[in-house]
Amino acid sequence: MRDKRFDEGSGVSGPYVLGLGEVDEDRAGLVGGKGAHLGALSRVDGVRVPDGFCVTTDAFRRVVARAPEVDALLDRLAGADPDDREAVRALSAKVRRAVEEAVIPDDLAAGIIGAVARLGEEAAYAVRSSATAEDLPTASFAGQQDTYLNVVGPAEVLRHVSRCWASLFTERAVVYRRRNGIDDRTVRMAVVVQRMVLPDASGVLFTADPVTGHRRTATVDAGFGLGEALVSGLVNPDVLTVRDGEVIARTIAVKERAVHALPGGGTREVTVEAGQRERPALTDAQAVELVRLGRRIEAHFGCPQDIEWCLNDDGFRIVQSRPITTLFPVPDPVPVPEAAGGRTPSVYVSVGHQQMMTDAMNPLGWSMWQRTAMVPMHEAGGRLFVDVTPRLASPASRAALLDVMGKGDPLVRDALETVLERGEFDLPVPDAGPVGPPADGAPEASVTEADPAVVAELVERSETSVAALERDIRTKSGPELFDFLAEAFEEHKRVLSDPLSMRAIMAGMEATWWLNDKLGEWLGEKNAADALTLSAPGNITSEMGLDLLDVADAIRPHPEVVAFLNGVQDDAHGDGFLDGLLKLPGGSAAREAIGTYLARYGMRCVAEIDITRPRWSEHPATLVPLILDNVRNFGPGAAERRFEQGRLRALRTEQDVLTRLRALPDGERKADETKRMIDQVRAFAGYREYPKYGIVCRYFLYKQALLEEAGRLVRDGVLAEREDVFHLTFQELEDVVRSRRADDRLIARRKEAFRSYGALTPPRVLTSDGEAVTGSYRRDDVPEGALAGLAVSTGSVEGRARVILDLADAELEEGDILVTRFTDPSWSPLFLGVAGLVTEVGGLMTHGAVIAREYGLPAVVGVDRATRLIRDGQRIRVHGTDGYVEILD
């Protein structure tokens, strides 16, 4: 498109040279990220920035427009396969050469030379690239374009300006832009020219710990001479850690080399005198002073900063500042109560790790979950967190919280204990009274027995409530819809918090824990409940997988249908395939089977707690690969056969356990108690999955109504497209509906933020200081080289690892072991075709663990970085009883 071309006539023409004092963050489009930040820095009280000027993006655009071959080369670069590194390397080199050789017009050259003359023709200069996609809050682009130091003389400044323009197309910059979804043609290059500082010491200041994320901890890297020695890895820096105005840790490196400026221009490496090599580059007082400057800069820009600095006899100079883009955001607002004798942080537990969905959510998604959840939740980085500080404050509630967390995910418990063990903060004991439910919403009341008939009653109640919602929501639109939804959300929470439902869930969970504890004590059995819960009745999630086997049975006899579906599988836009089935022999039966399946499960999808994710009913082609796997890997009647096999195995296990118990002292009592618990766990274990199903049913109805409203907003010209509503919170969407006005810039910012959040890894535990606490297993029973995790389904299996991050990419063979980040109920049909399961996220009672036990799959969850440490295709052995994974290759 013409507006993306480097066309001299496109855009608004502006000045070609601007002093740093003339620019700030609002002019980033004209002077690039670095130039904008430096201009803003020059206005911060107490911060000194070397004098300089910017050669603007208008100058770049004008020069490149005089080299028409650049456009043709960019067309070829855009069409190159991003995985063909050789092609990208060759084409980017040609673009660089063309840009660097482009002639600078006389008036532009005169403007640059005049700016140099005003600052001093004999001075040395740093010439730095400053692209418009640079030093952004979501992508720093650090090191992607070039910087040249100690450039002397106007002619050399001009030459190095051209080299900076050309560095927009280094191979590393082109690849980085592609990874961040940025079109090469949308980026412009400015150049910053500053008087050189010839420092005694230089380095980098991070105003937050770049590893842990702790916002009150600053890290200073320092070395002798120019900072190039540190950036290039020529020397190890001194590292000083500063917190609350005090150096709390220091590492002084042996600095054998440094980079100094040459009198005539350029730089060189020099040898540091032997007596100076172990001398600190900064004193503690200087480090503390530097961090104070950093805090001013951080306050100005509103986020933690990565700051380059120089020090000479005249004090500190700041030569660059950019956001630290790798930190996980802190929930906002952050309550920071003060306690007598110390400071109390807030401590947050990740909701996504308990819901088995750690991907970033759109604002409508996380705000809807907030609105319908039973406990207050805080958003950060597109994820939700629960503030557990009040529960940690009281010794009684603390013990209960740690117990619940430990049963669900030992890494969360260990992370919380790590925070508590430090003793850095005082936790005040709150006033007597309720402190709210645990972070996972589980009730604290103990339940040991319940009437199995309540399950049928609870399912009927839920179905009746969903049917009423479906009937009533159809009649609502505009502001009336949001008034109705306010009432619907209260009904949603009432169903979710039904005491009878809570007792049924706890009855199954407590029976599981009892069986594992007692049978471990009496018989030495590990995780004995796993085999006893095989094919437990009433599990909606396992039924979903088995029912898809029945769909395969309806399709398998018809080769034309199978061939047609193989074509659909390869078609990214194949969601209209259902009508196409009717034209084929056997197609009517296939369509009916898929339609029946969608009627019952079509509201489900991957990451289904996010209302903005496409549901199976919206994109039914998502199911086609799973159906074809079932056609290929299973025979007729597999669903009924597998369920019956599991039921018989559970029955045999029960008989074996009871027989062995009766042979023990006081065996009849132990057997009677165990039989009662087995009956209880089989009656209630399946219900554990039903409340989530009810939530997702309601969510689909909410989504359909909101999208209809979004369609009306598009027709009225309020929004550009329906899916824009996904980037608004529920409250913001309601405001748009009532006011008939939308903020397009807000939506654009939200889209960019959501894209950047996808690159972040959410922590299990996060403090209000920004520290991500991961936790560890602290076990000594894991073989060397094995990966520790949580044992959730017994057995051991060896096979080929299939590392799958997207359900749509699943292509499995018999005996494969699924390795992924997390699984929610939508993954359960895939479990039927694998021999074992390994996930990075999960706990004993999360969905993946429940279904793995239901299907009898050896499974280990909570294996940190499993998808990075295990390569696709490696042979691994999953120890589902002992909780670790061996890599055999």
What are the start-end ranges of the H helices in 602-637? 624-633
- How buried is 160 (Cβ within 10 angstroms: 0-12 exposed, 13-18 middle, 19+ buried)? buried
For the record, the structure tokens of 203 come out as 């380095």
In the block, residue with structure tokens 């004008």 = 62
Task: Count other Cβ atoms within 10 Å, centred on residue 524.
Answer: 8
For the record, the structure tokens of 638 come out as 């597999």
For the record, the structure tokens of 713 come out as 């907003």
Q: For residues 535 and 646, is the Cβ–Cβ distance under 8 A? A: yes
- Give the Cα separation of 573 and 380 in Å (integer): 33
Q: Which residues of 551-576 are buried (b: 16+ CB within 10 A; e: fewer)?
A: bbbbbbebeebbebbeebbeeeebee
What are the start-end ranges of the H helices in 180-237? 228-231
Beta strands, E only, 327-389: 338-339, 342-343, 347-350, 378-380, 383-387
The CA–CA distances, whole Å, from 250 to 223, 253, 422 equal: 13, 10, 20
Nearest by Cα to 193 from 297, 111, 268, 115: 115
- Give the Cα separation of 22 and 40 in Å (integer): 9
Nearest by Cα to 405 from 434, 455, 366, 441: 441
- Give the Cα separation of 297 and 303 in Å (integer): 9
- Give the Cα separation of 568 and 562 in Å (integer): 10
Q: For residues 353 and 405, is the Cβ–Cβ distance under 8 A? A: no
Q: Is the dihedral angle over the CA atoms 201, 203, 207, 213 positive or is it negative?
A: negative
Apex 678 CA angle, 503 and 508, nearest 5: 25
Residue type, position 192, single letter: V
For the record, the structure tokens of 874 come out as 């490696």
The residue from 214, 492, 847, 879 that is catalytic is 847
- Give the Cα separation of 224 and 311 in Å (integer): 10
Q: For residues 799 and 867, is the Cβ–Cβ distance under 8 A? A: no
- Answer yes or no: 847 catalytic: yes
In three-state secondary structure terms, 851 is: helix
- Give the Cα separation of 741 and 718 in Å (integer): 6
- Give the Cα separation of 754 and 768 in Å (integer): 21
Gyration radius of the chain's alpha carbons: 31
Residues belonging to the chain: 889
Q: What is the DSSP string of 278-310?
A: TS-SS-HHHHHHHHHHHHHHHHHHTS-EEEEEE
Nearest by Cα to 775 from 414, 422, 423: 414
Nearest by Cα to 819 from 798, 796, 797, 801: 801
In DSSP terms, 378 is beta-bridged to: 385
Which residues are marked as active site? Answer: 847
